[in-house]
Structure 1
């Protein structure tokens, strides 16, 4: 019982406190002790009687909360804070009233009391009554709405009371009140990182996840997913969701919910996977990748057949876009996930969407392919299995990348396509000159970023790590790539560097080519950065 006698601010983790049952019952024990002490008081009897009246009001409120706790799902956080504070004030009342039981001169001399002591106690008990009124209003909010009143305990931080009220609404059976509370929490989470932290500290994640796990209303589930999305804005927040067993809950909701819910959950999965590698691995263990690929490769229709065709098309487009976004974030920097995508129908789906779709969906698919080709660049097993010569999926992806490089005018599309081809440089044979030709053409692109990305990609065809570097170097020279690269020596430092590296490779592996010798490369290098001589000598 003594553990209850502290200020709430001294303990940050409510798990260090006694069980909620003890916290609920202990203030009632104190009210009974105070009642006996008031009856036994010998002086300041009027003041003690006033204390007794205030304590009796608290007693009635405490019993009402106990009744609600037995019949309603309990949101413990404010209950603990308020009951501990009430218990502390009741303990002060008991101490003061007990001092009034003796008339002895020595006792009265040692324990000096005055009106000021009682006035201070009355103020504390009034604050406790105000807190209890607010707490009861939270439990009784089924037919009302979010409680905007401010309890005395949160007078220094009004946001805390609003967060408590919103989270408490998630524990109530009324669907409309839950939705109102979720939307308010979502709006609060957008306001500041400090409020996000308060929501997490006050136990807001668990009831939001429960909405996704147990609610059958798509509207409620969507609201919960959106609120969690607004909360998850950094690695700490993403990890908080993970620590509340959020990954399995989200995986389950994504697998079995309504299409509109799946769309929002896919967006949330992408956000969390982007922020935290532990969450990324967690989703992989829950087989989310297979679910994503299955959804992307099958016909998806809403359960509501009465929806008009444009609404259905938009719903499917949003789902596919967010699924591809989630696949991208799950694959980013993760070789194991990239391998799993290639072992499913994932590559064929991505190639199909890159071919037929536009906008964000196409970009998400393209960026997923970039991650997979990046994994293939550093992992021989993925290169050999997914992008071997007779792989239909690999060939389909490469064909679409080359088409985008050749046809697209959008750097946002063209640059990742070029990067992906460059990362696959070691998978192409010497006969596949159709891969090199479009890259050489991009060296003259008006967008310097596109041209630079092409130089980098061609450098991967001609670098020492590429077994066919000699053949590829000769092909680049035959396609008149030397002159284009030389012009790039006058570009930015980044462009200059990569152009110079490519020229060095070409000089080493195709320097005897007649076209290369006619390009007068030494003259061009005279106007380049002084580092040119160093690099050229290094490769000579």
Structure 2
């Protein structure tokens, strides 16, 4: 703002100089006097602007236009002055059109300066009137703020400027209305959203998130989420301080506002995945987990991640667990058991933790170094009295945001799985409904997809001895065994496929439900079931032979034959890939011979469109050769 005031010095000085030149004019005196009257009014407005608190973005554009108008007037007055003698006056001809153009430019500058002064001060005047009268509606501006000349070619820009000016200088009521208007503009199209960001609309929105009433905070958070439609916009908003503002809201704000902020986080992360790490660095992930764990598992306010345990802390941990009749080998499981027992014995959600819950926590945790980014006790006080739909609203958006942040990001997935989030997801998948349940399933799906590609995360987060991992698998299997065609079924199938390398050979309960889904009428369920079973049967899975035998034992071969012959093209391809793996891994199976798998493979070799898939092209010949080698007699009998 100081820089803006400094830039006003030049036009003010130029205007004063031009007023003197107008009095010295020797030709076109009437026209020069008309210029002088306009320049005097411009000078007066410029001096008012130097004392005012202006909305900087349009003010700079208006000052640039004013400089051009004054420069045009300067060239005319210089030609009309006496400097240069009689001969110059005689030969100097200033056309009337030049004066008309100068009049027009100065009139436009007068309109623009009047507009910027009024739009920058009327909101402040309304706020002052509201503070004096306790009613902002009592303030009535006599003249409506019209469209400035500078925005004639782009009227929407004027509207954006006006709303941003109110966001900057208005009272709380006016700022809330302006935030709602910004939401409407951002919803209309992407171009309006980019204009709002370019015209510095984000900083006042962030201030409103911090200072406004609950409804204004919610509108501002909604506007931020709508504005982040592409990576460039998200980058600009992060530079403006979005992360810090969101952290403050997630720590302490009304639950509905926190839910809207969680939604905005999910939108920004979805439209610009590179910002995921920025949110992680600001502890947004941990705060979202805290909201997810509220009234879902005990000790939600104790949410912390253990990091870099010292030798001394490990020794103290072992001593403590020994006195509690617990072996040191079972310490991680013991730390999770109280939450799992509380979750299984509660109804829809566990009660808010009290002193007894804190006492039940293993004392060894106190000896570790904790990164605690959870909500304070003061921030959570009274939240249990919120309406159930508001609590569900926050949980749904927190789960959605966690799923979006976890997409393709191993570091965030590790941060989530080291917390109680997996246990929360399993409980919500079982007992929640609607968006909370669906978003929990989708978040689990994204975490499992990352775990499939990163062995270290898979081994740490989904090891078979982990109570949280077992709880997750139990709920995934419950949904798959139920086999209701709803929005949960496909994500759960994908999760089981991604976790295929975590199951032991003795874990026989997973294959059967997936094989039964091959008989499902819905193509997307059949497709995902075949894809999940392929991950069990592929060579990358160490237990692929055992899993192939289990697929055959549960009757998968006969279903696959039907899909290879009569399924949709995508289902055909997925089924044929799985058939190839079965034929390659268990070529001597009598069940495969009875299902005429060799005939299926021979038929598939003759279908040109099937061999276009690179994986089929590499698998099909080898599977056929192995089947012919081991079952030539059976094949001949069938021919």
TM-score by length of 1: 0.90
CA displacement at 1:137 relative to structure 2? 1.9
- Summarize deviations over 1:366-396 as a string: whole Å, max 9, x none: 1111111112212121222111121000000
CA displacement at 1:167 relative to structure 2? 0.9
SS at match of 2:157: helix
- Summarize deviations over 1:282-304 as a string: whole Å, max 9, x none: 11111111111111112399989
CA displacement at 1:148 relative to structure 2? 5.5
SS at match of 2:80: coil
CA displacement at 1:417 relative to structure 2? 0.6
Q: 1:93 aligns with which of 73, 83, 95?
A: 73
Aligned to 1:178: 175
Q: 1:164 aligns with which of 161, 165, 181?
A: 161
- Summarize deviations over 1:351-371 as a string: whole Å, max 9, x none: 111011122211111111111
| Residues 156/368 of structure 1: CA separation in 2 closer, same or farther (3 Å cut) | same
The answer to whether the 8 Å contact 1:138/1:168 transfers is yes
The answer to whether the 8 Å contact 2:505/2:547 transfers is yes
> Is residue 2:582 matched to residue 1:506?
yes
The answer to whether the 8 Å contact 1:77/1:203 transfers is yes
CA displacement at 1:408 relative to structure 2? 4.1
CA distance, structure 1, for counterparts of residue 288 and residue 236 of structure 2: 24
SS at match of 1:477: helix
Aligned to 2:137: none
Q: Which is further off, 294-303 or 260-269?
A: 294-303
| Residues 483/57 of structure 1: CA separation in 2 closer, same or farther (3 Å cut) | same
> Is residue 2:118 matched to residue 1:137?
yes
CA distance, structure 2, for counterparts of residue 163 and residue 169 of structure 1: 10
CA distance, structure 2, for counterparts of residue 455 and residue 176 of structure 1: 57
The answer to whether the 8 Å contact 2:583/2:597 transfers is no
The answer to whether the 8 Å contact 1:182/1:224 transfers is yes
The answer to whether the 8 Å contact 1:41/1:100 transfers is yes
Aligned to 2:621: 537
> Is residue 2:226 matched to residue 1:254?
no
Aligned to 1:27: 11
Aligned to 2:88: 107
Q: 1:49 aligns with which of 4, 8, 33?
A: 33
CA displacement at 1:451 relative to structure 2? 1.4
**Pairing of 1:199-348 with structure 2 (within 5 A):** 199-213=196-210, 215-299=211-295, 312-348=387-423
The answer to whether the 8 Å contact 1:38/1:48 transfers is yes
Q: What are structure 1's unaligned runs of at least 5 residues?
A: 1-14
Q: 2:108 aligns with which of 127, 139, 160?
A: 127
| Residues 232/385 of structure 1: CA separation in 2 closer, same or farther (3 Å cut) | same
The answer to whether the 8 Å contact 1:489/1:495 transfers is yes
CA distance, structure 1, for counterparts of residue 97 and residue 578 of structure 2: 87
- Summarize deviations over 1:275-327 as a string: whole Å, max 9, x none: 11221121111111111111111239998999997x71111010000000100
- Summarize deviations over 1:497-535 as a string: whole Å, max 9, x none: 221221222222223233233222223445546357964
SS at match of 1:466: coil
Aligned to 1:410: 485
The answer to whether the 8 Å contact 1:141/1:147 transfers is no
- Summarize deviations over 1:81-115 as a string: whole Å, max 9, x none: 11221122122223322322217232224532243
CA distance, structure 1, for counterparts of residue 411 and residue 523 of structure 2: 34
- Summarize deviations over 1:163-214 as a string: whole Å, max 9, x none: 111111111141112112222122112222222222222221222222224x
CA displacement at 1:162 relative to structure 2? 1.0
Q: Which is further off, 183-192 or 136-145?
A: 136-145
CA distance, structure 1, for counterparts of residue 516 and residue 462 of structure 2: 24
CA distance, structure 1, for counterparts of residue 50 and residue 174 of structure 2: 22
SS at match of 1:467: coil
CA distance, structure 1, for counterparts of residue 56 and residue 597 of structure 2: 76
- Summarize deviations over 1:110-167 as a string: whole Å, max 9, x none: 5322433323222222121111221222023223589651111111111111111111
| Residues 415/29 of structure 1: CA separation in 2 closer, same or farther (3 Å cut) | same
RMSD: 2.6
Aligned to 1:38: 22
CA distance, structure 1, for counterparts of residue 275 and residue 384 of structure 2: 37
CA displacement at 1:431 relative to structure 2? 0.9
CA displacement at 1:221 relative to structure 2? 1.6
CA distance, structure 2, for counterparts of residue 363 and residue 196 of structure 1: 30
- Summarize deviations over 1:457-498 as a string: whole Å, max 9, x none: 111111111111111111111112111111111212221222
CA distance, structure 2, for counterparts of residue 303 and residue 458 of structure 1: 46
| Residues 199/216 of structure 1: CA separation in 2 closer, same or farther (3 Å cut) | closer
Aligned to 2:318: none
- Summarize deviations over 1:29-87 as a string: whole Å, max 9, x none: 11211222123223333322222222222222222222222xxxx32011111122112
CA distance, structure 2, for counterparts of residue 308 and residue 286 of structure 1: 26
CA distance, structure 1, for counterparts of residue 144 and residue 515 of structure 2: 66
Aligned to 1:9: none
| Residues 94/508 of structure 1: CA separation in 2 closer, same or farther (3 Å cut) | closer
| Residues 230/207 of structure 1: CA separation in 2 closer, same or farther (3 Å cut) | same
CA distance, structure 2, for counterparts of residue 319 and residue 187 of structure 1: 23
